[in-house]
Structure 1
Amino acid sequence: MKKRILLGALGLVLVFSSPLVADEKLSMSPEDRALYEEMLENNPADIYVEEGSELLEEYIGGEAGLAKFLGVSEDELPKYLAGFPRYIKKIGMVVAIDQMLQAAMYANGKKPFKLKSSQMDAMAAYTKSIANGEKINIDINANEHMKEYYKLGKKVFEMRRGGRGLSCYSCHSPDIVGMRLRMQILPDLGAPKVKAAATWPAYRMTKGKMFTLQKRFQQCMKNALLAKIPLGSKHMVALEVYVTNMAKGQEIHIPGLKR
Protein backbone atom coordinates (compact mmCIF):
# COMPACT_ATOMS: atom_id res chain seq x y z
CA MET A 1 0.00 0.00 0.00
CA LYS A 2 1.39 3.37 -0.96
CA LYS A 3 1.47 6.29 1.38
CA ARG A 4 1.41 9.78 -0.09
CA ILE A 5 3.08 12.55 1.83
CA LEU A 6 2.72 16.16 0.78
CA LEU A 7 5.66 18.36 1.63
CA GLY A 8 4.35 21.89 1.58
CA ALA A 9 7.83 23.38 1.31
CA LEU A 10 8.54 21.38 -1.83
CA GLY A 11 5.09 21.77 -3.28
CA LEU A 12 5.53 18.23 -4.63
CA VAL A 13 4.19 14.80 -3.76
CA LEU A 14 6.62 12.14 -2.58
CA VAL A 15 5.40 8.59 -2.80
CA PHE A 16 6.67 5.93 -0.39
CA SER A 17 6.82 2.44 -1.80
CA SER A 18 7.81 -1.02 -0.65
CA PRO A 19 11.45 -2.05 -1.35
CA LEU A 20 10.26 -4.11 -4.33
CA VAL A 21 8.34 -1.25 -5.92
CA ALA A 22 11.13 1.17 -5.08
CA ASP A 23 13.54 -0.61 -7.42
CA GLU A 24 15.65 1.89 -9.34
CA LYS A 25 14.41 0.49 -12.66
CA LEU A 26 11.07 2.24 -12.10
CA SER A 27 12.90 5.55 -12.41
CA MET A 28 13.74 4.75 -16.05
CA SER A 29 11.84 3.72 -19.13
CA PRO A 30 12.77 0.32 -20.61
CA GLU A 31 14.64 2.16 -23.36
CA ASP A 32 16.62 4.23 -20.86
CA ARG A 33 17.32 1.13 -18.79
CA ALA A 34 18.75 -0.63 -21.86
CA LEU A 35 20.90 2.42 -22.62
CA TYR A 36 22.09 2.53 -19.00
CA GLU A 37 23.14 -1.12 -19.11
CA GLU A 38 25.05 -0.46 -22.35
CA MET A 39 26.78 2.59 -20.88
CA LEU A 40 27.92 0.57 -17.89
CA GLU A 41 30.21 -1.22 -20.32
CA ASN A 42 31.09 1.86 -22.38
CA ASN A 43 30.83 4.91 -20.15
CA PRO A 44 30.99 8.10 -22.28
CA ALA A 45 32.92 9.76 -19.45
CA ASP A 46 35.88 7.48 -20.17
CA ILE A 47 36.78 9.99 -22.89
CA TYR A 48 36.99 12.78 -20.31
CA VAL A 49 39.09 10.62 -18.01
CA GLU A 50 41.54 9.89 -20.83
CA GLU A 51 41.75 13.62 -21.56
CA GLY A 52 42.45 14.18 -17.87
CA SER A 53 45.35 11.75 -18.03
CA GLU A 54 46.94 13.76 -20.82
CA LEU A 55 46.36 17.04 -18.98
CA LEU A 56 47.89 15.68 -15.77
CA GLU A 57 50.97 14.63 -17.72
CA GLU A 58 51.30 17.99 -19.47
CA TYR A 59 50.64 20.30 -16.53
CA ILE A 60 51.86 18.38 -13.47
CA GLY A 61 54.17 15.69 -14.80
CA GLY A 62 51.76 12.78 -14.55
CA GLU A 63 51.38 10.57 -11.51
CA ALA A 64 55.07 10.91 -10.64
CA GLY A 65 54.80 14.71 -10.57
CA LEU A 66 51.60 14.58 -8.54
CA ALA A 67 53.10 12.17 -6.01
CA LYS A 68 56.13 14.43 -5.64
CA PHE A 69 53.92 17.47 -5.02
CA LEU A 70 51.93 15.58 -2.37
CA GLY A 71 55.06 14.19 -0.74
CA VAL A 72 54.15 10.52 -1.17
CA SER A 73 55.51 7.68 -3.28
CA GLU A 74 53.77 6.62 -6.48
CA ASP A 75 52.84 3.36 -4.78
CA GLU A 76 51.17 5.30 -1.95
CA LEU A 77 49.37 7.71 -4.29
CA PRO A 78 46.11 5.73 -4.87
CA LYS A 79 45.45 5.26 -1.16
CA TYR A 80 46.38 8.87 -0.43
CA LEU A 81 43.97 10.17 -3.07
CA ALA A 82 41.21 8.04 -1.53
CA GLY A 83 41.42 10.31 1.52
CA PHE A 84 40.31 13.55 -0.16
CA PRO A 85 39.09 16.11 0.73
CA ARG A 86 41.95 16.52 3.18
CA TYR A 87 44.15 19.14 4.82
CA ILE A 88 47.31 19.88 2.82
CA LYS A 89 49.89 21.72 4.91
CA LYS A 90 51.68 23.36 1.97
CA ILE A 91 48.34 24.74 0.75
CA GLY A 92 47.27 25.69 4.27
CA MET A 93 43.67 24.54 4.04
CA VAL A 94 41.34 21.60 3.53
CA VAL A 95 40.92 21.05 -0.21
CA ALA A 96 39.14 18.78 -2.64
CA ILE A 97 41.08 17.09 -5.44
CA ASP A 98 40.45 19.84 -7.99
CA GLN A 99 41.80 22.58 -5.72
CA MET A 100 44.83 20.44 -4.93
CA LEU A 101 45.42 20.11 -8.67
CA GLN A 102 45.24 23.88 -9.06
CA ALA A 103 47.97 24.25 -6.44
CA ALA A 104 50.08 21.58 -8.13
CA MET A 105 49.75 23.31 -11.49
CA TYR A 106 50.79 26.62 -9.94
CA ALA A 107 53.78 24.98 -8.24
CA ASN A 108 54.75 23.57 -11.63
CA GLY A 109 54.76 27.03 -13.20
CA LYS A 110 51.45 26.56 -15.02
CA LYS A 111 48.34 28.71 -14.97
CA PRO A 112 45.69 26.69 -13.08
CA PHE A 113 42.43 25.80 -14.79
CA LYS A 114 39.32 27.38 -13.31
CA LEU A 115 37.25 25.06 -11.14
CA LYS A 116 34.26 25.42 -13.46
CA SER A 117 36.26 24.45 -16.57
CA SER A 118 35.84 21.16 -18.42
CA GLN A 119 39.63 20.70 -18.33
CA MET A 120 39.59 20.74 -14.54
CA ASP A 121 36.68 18.30 -14.45
CA ALA A 122 38.62 15.94 -16.72
CA MET A 123 41.85 16.19 -14.74
CA ALA A 124 40.02 15.74 -11.42
CA ALA A 125 38.19 12.70 -12.78
CA TYR A 126 41.39 11.05 -13.93
CA THR A 127 43.19 11.89 -10.71
CA LYS A 128 40.46 10.34 -8.58
CA SER A 129 40.34 7.32 -10.91
CA ILE A 130 43.95 6.59 -9.87
CA ALA A 131 42.34 5.48 -6.59
CA ASN A 132 39.88 3.09 -8.29
CA GLY A 133 39.61 -0.08 -6.23
CA GLU A 134 40.70 1.72 -3.06
CA LYS A 135 38.19 2.39 -0.29
CA ILE A 136 37.36 5.93 0.77
CA ASN A 137 39.53 6.59 3.83
CA ILE A 138 38.78 10.24 4.63
CA ASP A 139 39.77 11.00 8.22
CA ILE A 140 37.57 13.70 9.73
CA ASN A 141 39.51 13.47 13.00
CA ALA A 142 42.96 13.80 11.45
CA ASN A 143 43.42 17.36 12.70
CA GLU A 144 41.52 20.41 13.89
CA HIS A 145 41.06 21.59 10.30
CA MET A 146 39.23 18.43 9.27
CA LYS A 147 37.11 18.49 12.42
CA GLU A 148 36.13 22.08 11.65
CA TYR A 149 35.23 21.31 8.03
CA TYR A 150 33.20 18.24 8.98
CA LYS A 151 31.24 20.25 11.55
CA LEU A 152 30.64 23.02 9.00
CA GLY A 153 29.67 20.49 6.31
CA LYS A 154 27.05 18.94 8.59
CA LYS A 155 25.68 22.42 9.25
CA VAL A 156 25.50 23.18 5.51
CA PHE A 157 23.84 19.81 4.82
CA GLU A 158 21.11 20.46 7.37
CA MET A 159 20.73 24.22 6.94
CA ARG A 160 17.36 25.34 5.59
CA ARG A 161 17.72 28.06 2.98
CA GLY A 162 15.67 29.99 0.45
CA GLY A 163 12.00 30.85 0.36
CA ARG A 164 11.00 27.19 0.65
CA GLY A 165 13.21 26.48 3.61
CA LEU A 166 14.90 23.47 2.03
CA SER A 167 18.20 21.77 2.82
CA CYS A 168 20.13 18.73 1.60
CA TYR A 169 18.62 16.95 4.60
CA SER A 170 15.12 17.67 3.26
CA CYS A 171 15.61 15.02 0.58
CA HIS A 172 18.23 12.78 2.21
CA SER A 173 17.09 12.33 5.80
CA PRO A 174 16.29 8.78 6.96
CA ASP A 175 12.59 9.68 6.98
CA ILE A 176 12.64 10.64 3.28
CA VAL A 177 15.11 8.17 1.75
CA GLY A 178 13.29 5.67 -0.47
CA MET A 179 10.52 8.04 -1.48
CA ARG A 180 10.22 9.45 -4.96
CA LEU A 181 10.70 12.96 -6.29
CA ARG A 182 9.86 13.36 -9.99
CA MET A 183 9.86 9.56 -10.31
CA GLN A 184 13.40 9.40 -8.98
CA ILE A 185 14.21 7.54 -5.75
CA LEU A 186 15.73 9.76 -3.09
CA PRO A 187 18.89 7.89 -2.02
CA ASP A 188 20.86 7.36 1.11
CA LEU A 189 24.08 9.07 -0.03
CA GLY A 190 26.29 6.64 1.87
CA ALA A 191 24.53 3.39 0.94
CA PRO A 192 26.65 0.70 -0.80
CA LYS A 193 24.59 0.91 -4.00
CA VAL A 194 24.83 4.72 -4.04
CA LYS A 195 28.16 5.55 -2.34
CA ALA A 196 27.86 9.03 -3.84
CA ALA A 197 31.33 10.29 -2.98
CA ALA A 198 32.92 7.12 -4.38
CA THR A 199 31.27 7.39 -7.81
CA TRP A 200 31.66 11.09 -8.69
CA PRO A 201 32.86 12.54 -11.05
CA ALA A 202 30.20 10.77 -13.06
CA TYR A 203 28.44 10.91 -16.41
CA ARG A 204 24.80 12.03 -16.15
CA MET A 205 22.64 10.48 -18.85
CA THR A 206 19.97 13.18 -18.54
CA LYS A 207 22.55 15.94 -19.05
CA GLY A 208 24.83 14.19 -21.55
CA LYS A 209 28.04 15.20 -19.79
CA MET A 210 30.26 14.54 -16.80
CA PHE A 211 29.95 16.36 -13.48
CA THR A 212 32.00 16.52 -10.31
CA LEU A 213 30.38 16.00 -6.92
CA GLN A 214 30.44 19.73 -6.16
CA LYS A 215 28.76 20.51 -9.47
CA ARG A 216 26.11 17.90 -8.64
CA PHE A 217 25.53 19.70 -5.36
CA GLN A 218 24.99 22.91 -7.32
CA GLN A 219 22.44 21.21 -9.59
CA CYS A 220 20.46 20.13 -6.54
CA MET A 221 20.60 23.68 -5.18
CA LYS A 222 19.39 25.08 -8.48
CA ASN A 223 16.49 22.62 -8.64
CA ALA A 224 15.48 23.58 -5.10
CA LEU A 225 15.65 27.29 -6.04
CA LEU A 226 18.52 27.88 -3.63
CA ALA A 227 21.47 30.18 -4.19
CA LYS A 228 24.36 28.02 -5.41
CA ILE A 229 27.31 27.75 -3.05
CA PRO A 230 30.46 28.61 -5.08
CA LEU A 231 32.75 25.80 -6.22
CA GLY A 232 35.82 25.49 -4.03
CA SER A 233 34.46 27.77 -1.30
CA LYS A 234 34.94 26.76 2.33
CA HIS A 235 31.26 25.87 2.66
CA MET A 236 31.27 23.78 -0.53
CA VAL A 237 34.41 21.87 0.40
CA ALA A 238 32.99 21.32 3.88
CA LEU A 239 29.84 19.87 2.32
CA GLU A 240 31.97 17.51 0.26
CA VAL A 241 33.85 16.47 3.40
CA TYR A 242 30.56 15.65 5.15
CA VAL A 243 29.07 13.70 2.24
CA THR A 244 32.35 11.89 1.54
CA ASN A 245 32.46 10.69 5.13
CA MET A 246 29.03 9.09 4.59
CA ALA A 247 30.63 6.75 2.05
CA LYS A 248 33.75 5.97 4.07
CA GLY A 249 34.83 2.40 3.46
CA GLN A 250 33.10 2.20 0.08
CA GLU A 251 35.16 1.28 -2.98
CA ILE A 252 35.96 4.06 -5.43
CA HIS A 253 34.81 3.63 -9.03
CA ILE A 254 35.46 6.57 -11.36
CA PRO A 255 33.88 7.61 -13.64
CA GLY A 256 30.44 6.79 -12.31
CA LEU A 257 27.27 6.57 -14.36
CA LYS A 258 24.11 8.29 -13.18
CA ARG A 259 20.63 8.80 -14.46
Structure 2
Amino acid sequence: MEKQEINYVFDIDGTLTPARLPIEAVFKTFFLEWIQNKKVYLITGSDYEKSVEQIGPEILEAVTACFNTAGNICYKKGKVIYRNDWSAPPDLIHLLNQFIENSKHPIRAGRHFEHRIGMLNFSIVGRNCTREQRNDYNLYDAEVKEREYFCKTIMEQFPEIEATVGGQISIDIYALGMNKAQIIKHIKGPIHFFGDKTKEGENDYAIAKKLTKLPNRVFTVKDWKETMEILKQYNRNS
Protein backbone atom coordinates (compact mmCIF):
# COMPACT_ATOMS: atom_id res chain seq x y z
CA MET A 1 0.00 0.00 0.00
CA GLU A 2 1.32 3.42 -0.95
CA LYS A 3 2.25 5.55 2.05
CA GLN A 4 -0.10 8.52 2.50
CA GLU A 5 1.36 12.00 2.62
CA ILE A 6 1.17 13.60 6.06
CA ASN A 7 -0.80 16.81 6.55
CA TYR A 8 0.81 19.05 9.17
CA VAL A 9 -1.63 21.29 11.04
CA PHE A 10 -0.37 24.02 13.37
CA ASP A 11 -2.10 26.25 15.86
CA ILE A 12 -0.47 29.70 15.67
CA ASP A 13 -0.60 31.60 18.97
CA GLY A 14 1.55 29.86 21.59
CA THR A 15 2.58 27.14 19.13
CA LEU A 16 4.35 29.02 16.33
CA THR A 17 4.60 32.38 18.10
CA PRO A 18 4.81 33.75 21.63
CA ALA A 19 1.35 34.65 22.94
CA ARG A 20 -0.10 37.52 20.84
CA LEU A 21 3.39 38.41 19.55
CA PRO A 22 5.11 38.03 16.16
CA ILE A 23 7.00 34.87 15.28
CA GLU A 24 10.65 34.88 16.33
CA ALA A 25 13.00 35.59 13.41
CA VAL A 26 15.10 32.46 13.94
CA PHE A 27 12.02 30.23 13.92
CA LYS A 28 10.46 32.03 10.95
CA THR A 29 13.53 31.30 8.83
CA PHE A 30 13.57 27.67 9.96
CA PHE A 31 9.82 27.16 9.49
CA LEU A 32 9.76 28.66 5.98
CA GLU A 33 12.42 26.17 4.94
CA TRP A 34 10.82 23.25 6.81
CA ILE A 35 7.40 23.60 5.17
CA GLN A 36 8.77 23.40 1.63
CA ASN A 37 7.22 20.49 -0.32
CA LYS A 38 4.88 19.60 2.57
CA LYS A 39 1.14 19.95 3.07
CA VAL A 40 0.95 22.47 5.90
CA TYR A 41 -2.19 24.05 7.34
CA LEU A 42 -2.64 26.71 10.02
CA ILE A 43 -5.60 26.88 12.41
CA THR A 44 -6.27 29.73 14.82
CA GLY A 45 -9.06 31.46 16.69
CA SER A 46 -7.78 34.83 15.50
CA ASP A 47 -8.79 36.62 12.33
CA TYR A 48 -6.66 36.68 9.18
CA GLU A 49 -5.30 40.16 9.84
CA LYS A 50 -3.90 39.00 13.18
CA SER A 51 -2.30 36.00 11.46
CA VAL A 52 -0.57 38.31 8.99
CA GLU A 53 0.65 40.39 11.92
CA GLN A 54 1.94 37.38 13.85
CA ILE A 55 3.54 35.13 11.24
CA GLY A 56 3.85 37.37 8.18
CA PRO A 57 2.65 37.10 4.58
CA GLU A 58 5.55 34.87 3.48
CA ILE A 59 4.40 31.93 5.60
CA LEU A 60 0.75 32.49 4.71
CA GLU A 61 1.65 32.37 1.01
CA ALA A 62 3.72 29.21 1.49
CA VAL A 63 1.21 27.07 3.44
CA THR A 64 -1.54 25.00 1.83
CA ALA A 65 -4.30 26.91 3.66
CA CYS A 66 -4.97 29.01 6.74
CA PHE A 67 -8.13 28.39 8.78
CA ASN A 68 -9.09 31.41 10.87
CA THR A 69 -11.64 32.08 13.62
CA ALA A 70 -11.66 28.40 14.70
CA GLY A 71 -12.04 27.21 11.11
CA ASN A 72 -15.06 29.36 10.33
CA ILE A 73 -13.24 31.00 7.43
CA CYS A 74 -10.52 29.53 5.22
CA TYR A 75 -7.92 31.35 3.13
CA LYS A 76 -5.63 30.04 0.42
CA LYS A 77 -2.94 32.52 -0.57
CA GLY A 78 -5.06 35.36 0.77
CA LYS A 79 -8.29 34.37 -1.01
CA VAL A 80 -11.40 33.27 0.88
CA ILE A 81 -12.37 29.65 0.16
CA TYR A 82 -15.39 29.45 2.48
CA ARG A 83 -16.88 31.18 5.51
CA ASN A 84 -19.49 30.35 8.18
CA ASP A 85 -21.34 33.30 9.67
CA TRP A 86 -22.80 33.31 13.17
CA SER A 87 -23.94 36.01 15.61
CA ALA A 88 -24.16 35.70 19.38
CA PRO A 89 -27.77 35.96 20.63
CA PRO A 90 -28.70 38.99 22.79
CA ASP A 91 -29.30 36.82 25.87
CA LEU A 92 -25.72 35.57 25.66
CA ILE A 93 -24.37 39.13 25.42
CA HIS A 94 -26.41 39.99 28.51
CA LEU A 95 -24.87 37.06 30.40
CA LEU A 96 -21.35 38.11 29.36
CA ASN A 97 -22.00 41.65 30.57
CA GLN A 98 -23.02 40.16 33.92
CA PHE A 99 -19.67 38.34 34.00
CA ILE A 100 -17.92 41.69 33.47
CA GLU A 101 -19.87 43.30 36.30
CA ASN A 102 -19.40 40.44 38.76
CA SER A 103 -15.81 39.33 38.16
CA LYS A 104 -13.53 40.00 41.13
CA HIS A 105 -10.58 40.75 38.89
CA PRO A 106 -10.02 44.53 39.28
CA ILE A 107 -8.96 45.57 35.76
CA ARG A 108 -11.34 46.50 32.92
CA ALA A 109 -9.18 47.80 30.07
CA GLY A 110 -11.92 47.88 27.43
CA ARG A 111 -12.73 45.97 24.22
CA HIS A 112 -14.21 42.99 26.02
CA PHE A 113 -16.05 41.70 22.95
CA GLU A 114 -14.46 40.88 19.61
CA HIS A 115 -16.96 39.72 17.01
CA ARG A 116 -15.19 37.53 14.47
CA ILE A 117 -16.47 35.52 11.52
CA GLY A 118 -18.39 32.56 12.96
CA MET A 119 -17.48 33.25 16.59
CA LEU A 120 -17.23 35.69 19.49
CA ASN A 121 -14.11 36.27 21.57
CA PHE A 122 -14.77 37.52 25.11
CA SER A 123 -12.40 38.80 27.78
CA ILE A 124 -12.90 40.19 31.29
CA VAL A 125 -9.72 42.28 31.32
CA GLY A 126 -10.30 43.34 27.70
CA ARG A 127 -8.10 43.38 24.63
CA ASN A 128 -6.97 46.94 25.32
CA CYS A 129 -4.97 45.65 28.28
CA THR A 130 -1.21 46.08 28.56
CA ARG A 131 1.18 43.13 28.46
CA GLU A 132 1.52 43.37 32.25
CA GLN A 133 -2.27 43.39 32.73
CA ARG A 134 -2.57 40.40 30.37
CA ASN A 135 -0.03 38.42 32.40
CA ASP A 136 -1.68 39.45 35.68
CA TYR A 137 -5.07 38.21 34.51
CA ASN A 138 -3.56 34.96 33.24
CA LEU A 139 -2.07 34.32 36.69
CA TYR A 140 -5.37 35.23 38.37
CA ASP A 141 -7.32 32.89 36.10
CA ALA A 142 -4.85 30.05 36.63
CA GLU A 143 -5.64 30.27 40.35
CA VAL A 144 -9.42 30.79 40.36
CA LYS A 145 -10.33 29.11 37.03
CA GLU A 146 -12.68 31.96 36.15
CA ARG A 147 -12.72 31.27 32.42
CA GLU A 148 -13.55 27.61 32.98
CA TYR A 149 -16.52 28.72 35.08
CA PHE A 150 -17.66 31.11 32.33
CA CYS A 151 -17.49 28.37 29.70
CA LYS A 152 -19.40 25.89 31.86
CA THR A 153 -22.11 28.45 32.67
CA ILE A 154 -22.54 29.46 29.02
CA MET A 155 -22.93 25.87 27.84
CA GLU A 156 -25.37 25.05 30.63
CA GLN A 157 -27.59 28.01 29.75
CA PHE A 158 -27.13 27.77 25.97
CA PRO A 159 -26.86 24.08 24.95
CA GLU A 160 -26.64 25.05 21.27
CA ILE A 161 -23.47 27.05 21.93
CA GLU A 162 -19.90 25.97 22.67
CA ALA A 163 -17.36 27.93 24.74
CA THR A 164 -13.67 27.16 25.26
CA VAL A 165 -10.69 28.75 26.99
CA GLY A 166 -8.42 30.46 24.47
CA GLY A 167 -5.09 32.23 24.76
CA GLN A 168 -4.11 34.02 27.97
CA ILE A 169 -7.15 36.15 28.76
CA SER A 170 -10.19 35.17 26.71
CA ILE A 171 -12.78 32.57 25.83
CA ASP A 172 -13.93 31.60 22.33
CA ILE A 173 -17.66 31.19 21.74
CA TYR A 174 -19.33 29.67 18.66
CA ALA A 175 -22.24 27.54 17.54
CA LEU A 176 -22.04 23.95 18.77
CA GLY A 177 -19.59 21.95 16.67
CA MET A 178 -18.13 24.96 14.87
CA ASN A 179 -14.79 24.60 16.66
CA LYS A 180 -11.33 23.85 15.27
CA ALA A 181 -12.24 20.19 14.68
CA GLN A 182 -14.44 21.22 11.75
CA ILE A 183 -11.37 21.64 9.53
CA ILE A 184 -10.67 17.88 9.54
CA LYS A 185 -13.31 17.31 6.86
CA HIS A 186 -11.40 19.63 4.53
CA ILE A 187 -8.12 17.70 4.80
CA LYS A 188 -7.54 14.31 3.17
CA GLY A 189 -5.10 11.85 4.71
CA PRO A 190 -3.32 11.54 8.07
CA ILE A 191 -2.93 14.68 10.20
CA HIS A 192 -0.13 15.57 12.60
CA PHE A 193 -1.44 18.38 14.79
CA PHE A 194 0.58 20.81 16.92
CA GLY A 195 -1.15 22.89 19.59
CA ASP A 196 -0.65 24.34 23.07
CA LYS A 197 -4.24 24.25 24.37
CA THR A 198 -5.20 20.58 24.04
CA LYS A 199 -6.64 19.96 27.52
CA GLU A 200 -10.38 19.48 27.93
CA GLY A 201 -12.10 22.87 27.90
CA GLU A 202 -9.32 24.53 25.89
CA ASN A 203 -9.67 25.60 22.28
CA ASP A 204 -7.38 22.94 20.74
CA TYR A 205 -9.09 20.10 22.61
CA ALA A 206 -11.85 19.39 20.07
CA ILE A 207 -9.47 18.85 17.17
CA ALA A 208 -6.89 17.01 19.29
CA LYS A 209 -9.55 14.61 20.61
CA LYS A 210 -10.47 13.56 17.06
CA LEU A 211 -6.87 12.89 16.05
CA THR A 212 -5.84 10.42 18.77
CA LYS A 213 -5.76 7.32 16.55
CA LEU A 214 -2.90 6.43 14.22
CA PRO A 215 -1.88 7.40 11.60
CA ASN A 216 -2.88 10.76 13.09
CA ARG A 217 -0.71 12.28 15.83
CA VAL A 218 -1.10 15.12 18.33
CA PHE A 219 1.80 17.11 19.75
CA THR A 220 1.01 19.27 22.76
CA VAL A 221 3.71 21.93 23.03
CA LYS A 222 4.44 24.53 25.68
CA ASP A 223 5.83 27.12 23.23
CA TRP A 224 7.33 27.70 19.76
CA LYS A 225 10.73 26.46 20.94
CA GLU A 226 9.33 23.01 21.64
CA THR A 227 7.58 23.04 18.26
CA MET A 228 10.91 23.83 16.60
CA GLU A 229 12.66 20.97 18.41
CA ILE A 230 10.00 18.48 17.31
CA LEU A 231 10.27 19.65 13.69
CA LYS A 232 14.04 19.27 13.84
CA GLN A 233 13.44 15.67 14.94
CA TYR A 234 11.29 15.15 11.84
CA ASN A 235 14.26 16.32 9.77
CA ARG A 236 16.58 13.87 11.51
CA ASN A 237 14.16 11.00 10.93
CA SER A 238 13.49 11.78 7.27
TM bracket (short chain): under 0.3
- TM-score normalized with structure 2 length: 0.26
Q: In proportion to residue count, which structure has more strand?
A: 2
Q: In proportion to residue count, which structure has more helix?
A: 1
User: Larger Cα Rg: Structure 1 or Structure 2?
Assistant: 1
